[in-house]
Amino acid sequence: MAIKVLVVDDSLVFRRMLSEFLDEDPDIEVVAMAADPYQARDMIIRFNPDVMTLDIEMPRMNGIDFMKKLIPQHPMKVIMISSMEHKVLDYIEYGAVDYVQKPHDMDSEEMRKWVFSELITKVKTAYNIKYSEEKKQQIAVTPNNINRQYHNKIVAIGASTGGTEAILAVIKNFYPNIPGTVIVQHMPPGFTKMYAERLDKECRVHVKEAEDGDAVETGKVLIAPGDKHMELVRENGRYSVRCYEGEKVSGHCPSVDVLFKSVAQAAASDAVGVILTGMGSDGARGLLAMRKKGAHTIGQDERSCVVYGMPKVAYDIGAVQYQEPLENVASKIYNILNTIP
């Protein structure tokens, strides 16, 4: 049975092109199109779509207000499509499951490439997301000694679909004594800086988008830039990051595998590796490399994942030492750190 999709965008040309290309996939059926949230509301009632693609700026009602009203009354899978990078994270907060950047070139062939390389995969992923019936309770973590120092230790985290909120749930429970932390979250260029700024405002630790040569220090979290790989480097007893442009690895740039493999080499048994929700397998081999070097490794469990892809592959190949629900990950990190010499 085909995935029923509702396309919502105020541009008639964009709606038609998007619908035409989505319909070329045999697993997808565009059941309706809408020019604004009011039309979309009527189409949702009439067609009960499985997935909705939603533009951010539209007439009569903006997308944020629509999301605020829609999700509580009619939970559904929403993929944001927009060139307005600065607003996307608000939509994730209000219930969108994923986002893609609208192509700058509206040429039909470029549109076709964009739909088939990005959007169709995200529509299918969104459709397969299973929501928990009950809200997961986040456990506040208070380390036994928040002043304890963890010398020369590293925390490395990788995530993809669903990761923006999962990472927040983890590092909100970090205290300023947390070892230097490096993170890869699959995001397009431009999004990671805003994401880091948002996390920095909401967390006790300092969070920033990584720049080449940044020091990795206690109480600081570095997010890989959206268009560059990030590696951990150790020189003269100090950690820093190397950020560079490169080909996709495991289907992504930045790649979790690239980060984790560098952590395995630079930090070995002084590291804790964490793989969170995400589609695909990026990070699994890197986490295995970390474990083989003596690092402790954590994988998010299936129940708490938005998409149990990356953690599942990591678990299946033996890369995961501890499997934990999201709400326990931060406390597990601290428990592990307290056991490392």
How would DSSP label each residue in 25-82? Answer: STTEEEEEEESSHHHHHHHHHHH--SEEEEESS-SSS-HHHHHHHHHHHS--EEEEEE
**Could you tell me the pLDDT band of residue 133, with boundaries at 50, 70 and 90?**
very low
Please tell me the pTM assigned to this model: 0.81
**Could you tell me the pLDDT band of residue 29, with boundaries at 50, 70 and 90?**
very high
79 backbone dihedrals φ, ψ, rounded to 5°: -110, 120
The Cα 11–Cα 19 span in angstroms is 12
What mean pLDDT is predicted for residues 26-34?
96
**What is the pLDDT at residue 86?**
56
**Could you tell me the pLDDT band of residue 56, with boundaries at 50, 70 and 90?**
confident
**Could you tell me the pLDDT band of residue 143, with boundaries at 50, 70 and 90?**
low
CATH code of the domain occupying 154-337: 3.40.50.180
Question: Residue 171 corresponds to which tokens in the numbers above?
Answer: 């590092």
**What is the pLDDT at residue 99?**
82
Lowest mean pLDDT among 46-55, 140-149, 285-294: 140-149
- Note whether 3-128 and 154-337 share their fold: yes
Q: Which residues are designated catalytic?
A: 160, 186, 282
User: Between 64 and 268, where is the model more confident?
Assistant: 268
Predicted confidence (pLDDT) at residue 255 exceeds the cutoff of 90: yes
**What is the pLDDT at residue 87?**
62
Where does residue 234 fall: left (phi above 0), alpha (psi -120 to 50 degrees), or beta otherwise?
Answer: beta
The domains of the chain are located at 3-128, 154-337
Q: List, for residues 265-308, the tens digit of each pLDDT value.
A: 999 999 999 999 998 999 999 999 999 999 999 999 999 998 89
Lowest mean pLDDT among 106-110, 149-153, 210-214, 307-311: 106-110
Question: How remote is the C-alpha of 68 from its chain's centroid?
Answer: 21
Most confident of the following: 116-120, 158-162, 257-261, 305-309: 257-261
Predicted confidence (pLDDT) at residue 135 exceeds the cutoff of 50: no
User: Between 159 and 121, where is the model more confident?
Assistant: 159
User: Between 269 and 131, where is the model more confident?
Assistant: 269
Predicted confidence (pLDDT) at residue 137 exceeds the cutoff of 80: no
Q: List, for residues 292-301, the tens digit of each pLDDT value.
A: 999 999 999 9
For the domain made up of 3-128, the CATH class stated in words is alpha beta
The overall average pLDDT reported for the chain is: 89
User: Between 129 and 186, where is the model more confident?
Assistant: 186
What mean pLDDT is predicted for residues 110-134?
75
Which residue has 């006790």 as its token pair?
A: 204
Predicted confidence (pLDDT) at residue 84 exceeds the cutoff of 70: no
**What is the pLDDT at residue 153?**
97
Predicted confidence (pLDDT) at residue 4 exceeds the cutoff of 90: yes
DSSP string, 254-320: S-HHHHHHHHHHHTGGGEEEEE-SBSSSTTHHHHHHHHHTT-EEEEE-TTT-SSBSHHHHHHHTT--
Closest-CA residue to 22 (of 56, 62, 57, 49): 49
180 contacts 217 by C-beta, under 8 angstroms? yes
